[in-house]
Amino acid sequence: MTVSEPIRHVERAVSSPPISRPRRTPRLDDTLMGMALLLGPANVIMQLARPGVGYGVVESRVDSGRVDLHPIKRARTTFTYLAVAMAGTDAQKEAFRRAVNQAHAQVYSTPDSPVQYNAFDVDLQLWVAACLYKGGVDFYRMFIGEMDDEDADRHYKEAVVLGSTLQVPPEMWPADRAAFDRYWNDQLDKVHIDDAVRDYLYPIAVGRIQKLRLPDVIRRQPEKLNLLLTAGFLPQRFRDEMQFAWDDRTQRRFDRLIATLRTLNNAMPQFVRRFPFNLLLWDLDRRIKAGRPLV
């Protein structure tokens, strides 16, 4: 592979062999580092690309958890979930599961909804968990390196907690990485983003905060950078649904940006790299003890 050849990690199957020598034995929580926040908008798009998830969020009655209305609070909830699923104690997982269940109880379709959905639908929850796992593998390959087959298989089996921390029975998690790839490809046939969901997602893709009004001259460049990152972390199937333009030149720009960010990430002390995930678990314990809402 030449340095100028675009690297499309997001298009690789999770069961594909390593393209370079693995660096070290991975742990499930390796991806709990601040740079992983950059994948957030892309992963939200992937999750909401299933219409049942998309309209469940767009029509949500839980205003306090809407990313378009409360982006910081929603980000805290999502990334706390990842921290709890990957590195939390059993007590933390149980407390967070109860809190999520209370919020999900209010998320269901009405007769006027374009699609039928329910937040307790384990099929949709499995899709959300699969998106989180796929995004985690892509991030690992971009920022840490490759895994050999043995480590990748172990990492995959550990990832079952991404679904079981919600209501997904462990037996629903595809049996191995090859089975996951088959599941993923089958689910792509169910992906569709219509105008309503696309309009909801675009501000998230460019990092636009609804209540923050900035002049175009200030807003334009940060949004261009955010869109490059968001689109770069998306497989082409999802870019097409979002109507994002992408070509080899743009891919090379994305690859150069990721190389720079990877260098910066590697230069950070570990406790800095793992921020804010290390803080989120501490904050979760504080909220549990104080009886404050967790989501």
Q: Is the pTM of this model over 0.85?
A: yes
Q: Please list, residue by residue across 60-94, b when 16 or more beta carbons sit within 10 angstroms of its beta carbon and e when fewer do.
A: beeeebbbbebbeebbbbbbbbbbbbbbbeeebbe
Q: Per residue in 244-292, pLDDT tens?
A: 999 999 999 999 999 999 999 999 888 888 888 888 889 988 989 888 8
pLDDT at 3 over 60: no
| pLDDT band for position 32 (cuts 50, 70, 90) | confident
The mean of the pLDDT values for the chain is: 88
Domain assignment present for 124 = yes
In a domain, 191, yes or no: yes
81 belongs to a structural domain:
yes
- Residue 4 domain-assigned? no
With 70 as the cut, is the pLDDT of residue 29 above it?
no
Domain that holds residue 160: 26-284
Tens of pLDDT, residues 48-88: 999 999 999 999 887 666 666 667 777 788 888 888 888 88
Total domains present in the chain? 1
Ranges 9-18, 71-80, 145-154, 242-251, most confident: 242-251
